[in-house]
Chain A
Amino acid sequence: MATTDVADARPDQAPAPALRGPVARPGSRLLHRWVWLRLSLLLSAPLAWMLLVYVVALAALLVTSLWSVDSLSSEIDRTWTLDNFRTLLDNEVYRKVALRTVGVAAAVTVIDVAIALPIAFYMAKVASPRVRRMLVVAVLTPLWASYLVKVFAWRVVLSEGGLAEWSHLGSPGYGLTAVVIAQSYIWLPYVILPIFAALERVPDSLLEAAGDLGAPSRMVVRTVVLPLLVPGIVAGAIFSFSLTMGDYITVNIVGGASQMLGNLIFINAGAANNLPLAAAIAMIPIVVMLVLLTAIRRTGALENM
């Protein structure tokens, strides 16, 4: 994401390595000869890790959502049932919370991308190398102040008589607006960095050429810069969207009386140990993200992320 070098604008090259030339040792020769052997050596460790640690856990969660909890022993009853999903569909509250959560996540994403675009552009294309380096450090540094501390700082800022009101800016008070503000704030660096990295890869010569051919700045931006930026924007947007959607701590601290999907999952995973219901609720963000990722992949942005 934050690859910080100047691009040398070489077009993408097809993989398929050539099989030729003299080779040194037998082991190496074997590796060289058999592409699949090299590939499986490369792939086996990371793939095994992802499958064993993550895919199995996710699949187990899916399975759990089809079970129920015995109310007497509070042990998990392993008979298949769709009750949890029926609960989700029958109660309006889950739909409302799901929509609210997606809404907040979308708002945070839009705000972050809107703020990040001009800043990343300035950093990558306008600022001198020295200023650029300073700016990158300035953007990265807040990442290290603990997330919790930053959210609490926002609680202080937005409180009655807090910094926001004290400086006569006015405060929206605690509620969804405060959640959007705090979350946009926290995830902003994660959106700036990939967009900045993508912009750095756009060679200056390309922009100049377009300009020399008489294109006005606005058109250069729209036709040349934006398409090259899409992967960076997508990467940043995925970050801010999913991080917001899974949060339950910020909404507890500045969210007033509201709740989001994360709270429901958290409270059900703990309360009365209703993991099956929690797993069923977790399917909502999973489906939302999968739909989003598939849609994005259609555009080809994922491969270039």
Chain B
Amino acid sequence: MKSTLRRGRVAAACLTLLSVSVLSACGSSDSDKKTEAVEKLGKTEGQVSILAWPGYVEDGSNDPKVDWVSAFEKETGCQVTSKVYGTSDEALNLAKSGEYDVIAASGDLSLRLIASDEAQQINTDLVPNYKNVYDFLKDTEWNSVDGKNYGVPHGYGANLLMFNKKDFPEAPTSWGAVFEKDQLAKNKGKVTAYDSPIYIADAALYLMKTQPDLKITNPYALDADQLAAATALLKEQRKYVGEYWSDYLKEVQAFETGNSVVGTTWQVIKNSIENKDVDVTLPTEGATAWNDTWMLSSQAKNPNCAYKWMDYILSPEANAQATEYFGEAPNSPQACEKTTDPQHCATFHAGDEDYAKQLWFWRTPIKKCLDGRTDVECTDYAQWTQAWTEIKG
């Protein structure tokens, strides 16, 4: 009985393997991906499907007062369906399914979308509200490739340093607070950091300012040696880290209770913390930051409604609503005038070019060095992921 059983199972396994190889060989073909920009718009399709961060596409179903989708639907006749994602990595997979027309992408995702032909070049002439957008957000490394624009800016924010005044009577002025051993030691187990491979750039930025020998000129363009140095720094930091955060409720809670006392943060997280001892600062080294852009899928089934959406969400009213709700700087001076909190743009340093100059916006690390070096190959996101796995251990 036993031997026949085994033989049967082996045969079955071989059969399935065979059929799978055949099936997978003919499966998944690159179907109608269109990466060039359109010349003009056609009739709207009556629907549009959007992939975005939570809080970007609100139709009032979670809170009737938070709704900028209904106005869009009424105005254009395009019915919106949306899906939210938790991390850029998750978004990449979802975007590849081709089910989404428009994608809100952070800089650590945009180049990956473009490289895998998932993004379609955008004809910004067809997005009238684009002209209002701050110039320093336009045609940047994280939304354009070879002079072609693939994304229209939504809002932006910096990855700041948050600390508890009880443990830091004097506000820290340097990222050394989370990278230098002697400063980390007193807060062992209460340090926090962003849980994503892209956080390696924060370490690289610190090294860029403190260890000139490494010759880092762009924290997103690291060759193998530079990545190793950043990895080593983060492995040292790991010994003092209490927890990594990725969703912001987690960090709000940790700082409220005192489980974390120092680490990276977003301004919006600081704003939701009621504990008066918690404060944020932009250290002298500058900081990494994100600028999300609306991208058009190369497999978009509803490109006309998608253009309508991009223009709508860039309009001062909608942009002000969406960025204020999420807690980030709006993309244009016009939007700043429409926020309900008159201080919103000041709090988030919107339009402050000197402030923005200190920010290294997220972009996707790729093999071709983003800083223009051609003599070495840089490390790509897959290698950063690998390094991140080892850092967390």
CA A270 to CA B112, docked complex, whole Å: 12
Residues of A within 8 A of B112 (CB): 74, 272-273
Query: Which of A56, A78, A253, A274 has a CB less than 8 Å from the CB of B250?
Result: A253
Does chain A have a CB within 8 A of B347?
A: no
Q: Determine how close the nearest CB of chain B comes to the CB of A78; give it in whole angstroms.
A: 8
Q: In this complex, which of B115, B238, B367 has the most chain A Cβ atoms within 10 angstroms of its Cβ? A: B115
Residues of A within 8 A of B380 (CB): 71, 272
Query: Which of A69, A174, A255, A273 has a CB less than 8 Å from the CB of B93?
Result: A273
Does chain A have a CB within 8 A of B61?
A: no
Does chain A have a CB within 8 A of B20?
A: yes
Chain B residues bordering chain A, tally (CB within 8 A): 45
Does chain B have a CB within 8 A of A181?
A: no
Does chain B have a CB within 8 A of A287?
A: no
CA A95 to CA B242, docked complex, whole Å: 23
Residues of A within 8 A of B62 (CB): none
Residues A63 and B253 in contact in the complex (CB < 8 Å), given A93-B389, A173-B189, A257-B241:
no
Does chain A have a CB within 8 A of B259?
A: yes
Interface residues of A in 151-202 (CB under 8 A from B): 155-156, 159-162, 173-174
CA A56 to CA B22, docked complex, whole Å: 12
Q: Are B382 and A162 in contact (CB under 8 A)?
A: no
Contact with B along A261-297 (1 / 0, CB 8 A): 0001001111111100000000000000000000000
Residues of A within 8 A of B89 (CB): 267, 270-272
Residues A256 and B243 in contact in the complex (CB < 8 Å), given A159-B259, A272-B381:
yes
Q: Determine how close the nearest CB of chain A comes to the CB of B337; give it in whole angstroms.
A: 38
Does chain A have a CB within 8 A of B34?
A: no
B94 nearest CB neighbor, chain A only: A270
B197 nearest CB neighbor, chain A only: A271
Q: Are B24 and A63 in contact (CB under 8 A)?
A: yes
Residues A161 and B258 in contact in the complex (CB < 8 Å), given A56-B16, A270-B87:
yes
Does chain B have a CB within 8 A of A134?
A: no
A281 nearest CB neighbor, chain B only: B389
Q: Are A271 and B381 in contact (CB under 8 A)?
A: yes
CA A72 to CA B117, docked complex, whole Å: 11
Q: Are A257 and B392 in contact (CB under 8 A)?
A: yes
Interface residues of A in 63-85 (CB under 8 A from B): 63, 69, 71-75, 78
Residues of A within 8 A of B385 (CB): 267-268, 271-272, 274
Does chain B have a CB within 8 A of A59?
A: yes
Chain A residues bordering chain B, tally (CB within 8 A): 43
CA A222 to CA B367, docked complex, whole Å: 64
Query: Which of B87, B90, B93, B238 has a CB less than 8 Å from the CB of A257?
Result: B238
Does chain A have a CB within 8 A of B116?
A: yes
Q: Are A74 and B258 in contact (CB under 8 A)?
A: no
Query: Which of B16, B244, B257 has a CB less than 8 Å from the CB of A59?
Result: B16
B243 nearest CB neighbor, chain A only: A256
A67 nearest CB neighbor, chain B only: B24
Q: In this complex, which of A161, A255, A269, A270 has the most chain B Cβ atoms within 10 angstroms of its Cβ? A: A270
Q: Determine how close the nearest CB of chain B comes to the CB of A273; give it in whole angstroms.
A: 6
Q: Are B367 and A72 in contact (CB under 8 A)?
A: yes
Does chain B have a CB within 8 A of A40?
A: no
Does chain A have a CB within 8 A of B138?
A: no
CA A272 to CA B195, docked complex, whole Å: 16
Query: Which of B17, B93, B244, B393 has a CB less than 8 Å from the CB of A270?
Result: B93
B245 nearest CB neighbor, chain A only: A252
Residues of A within 8 A of B388 (CB): 267
Q: Are B389 and A264 in contact (CB under 8 A)?
A: yes
Residues of B within 8 A of A242 (CB): none
CA A272 to CA B365, docked complex, whole Å: 10
Q: Determine how close the nearest CB of chain A comes to the CB of B235; give it in whole angstroms.
A: 11
Does chain A have a CB within 8 A of B23?
A: yes
Contact with B along A234-264 (1 / 0, CB 8 A): 0000000000000000001101111100001
Q: Are B259 and A59 in contact (CB under 8 A)?
A: no
Q: Are B244 and A51 in contact (CB under 8 A)?
A: no
A87 nearest CB neighbor, chain B only: B386
Does chain B have a CB within 8 A of A29?
A: no
Residues of B within 8 A of A63 (CB): 17, 20-21, 24
Q: Are B87 and A75 in contact (CB under 8 A)?
A: no
CA A288 to CA B362, docked complex, whole Å: 39
Q: Determine how close the nearest CB of chain B comes to the CB of A276; give it in whole angstroms.
A: 11
B367 nearest CB neighbor, chain A only: A71
Interface residues of B in 1-33 (CB under 8 A from A): 13, 16-17, 19-21, 23-25
Does chain B have a CB within 8 A of A60?
A: yes
Contact with A along B251-282 (1 / 0, CB 8 A): 00110011100000000000000000000000
CA A253 to CA B244, docked complex, whole Å: 10
B382 nearest CB neighbor, chain A only: A272
Contact with B along A97-113 (1 / 0, CB 8 A): 10000000000000000
Does chain B have a CB within 8 A of A91?
A: yes
Does chain A have a CB within 8 A of B96?
A: yes
Does chain B have a CB within 8 A of A33?
A: no
Query: Which of B24, B90, B242 has a CB less than 8 Å from the CB of A174?
Result: B242
Q: Are A93 and B253 in contact (CB under 8 A)?
A: no
Contact with A along B82-119 (1 / 0, CB 8 A): 00000101101100100000000000000010011100
Does chain A have a CB within 8 A of B390?
A: yes
A158 nearest CB neighbor, chain B only: B259
Residues of A within 8 A of B93 (CB): 269-270, 273
CA A268 to CA B92, docked complex, whole Å: 12
Does chain B have a CB within 8 A of A224?
A: no
Does chain B have a CB within 8 A of A55?
A: yes
A171 nearest CB neighbor, chain B only: B259
Does chain B have a CB within 8 A of A96?
A: yes
Q: Are A252 and B381 in contact (CB under 8 A)?
A: no
Q: Are A69 and B16 in contact (CB under 8 A)?
A: no
CA A73 to CA B92, docked complex, whole Å: 14
CA A74 to CA B367, docked complex, whole Å: 11
CA A121 to CA B23, docked complex, whole Å: 51
Residues of B within 8 A of A258 (CB): 392
A-B contact pairs, 6 of them (CB 8 A): A55-B16, A63-B20, A93-B389, A96-B393, A253-B250, A267-B389
Given contacts A63-B21, A267-B389, 13 further A-B contacts (CB under 8 A): A56-B19, A63-B20, A71-B367, A73-B115, A78-B24, A159-B259, A160-B258, A161-B257, A162-B257, A257-B238, A270-B93, A272-B380, A272-B382
6 tightest CB-CB pairs across the interface, nearest first?
Answer: A270-B89, A272-B382, A271-B385, A159-B257, A271-B89, A256-B243
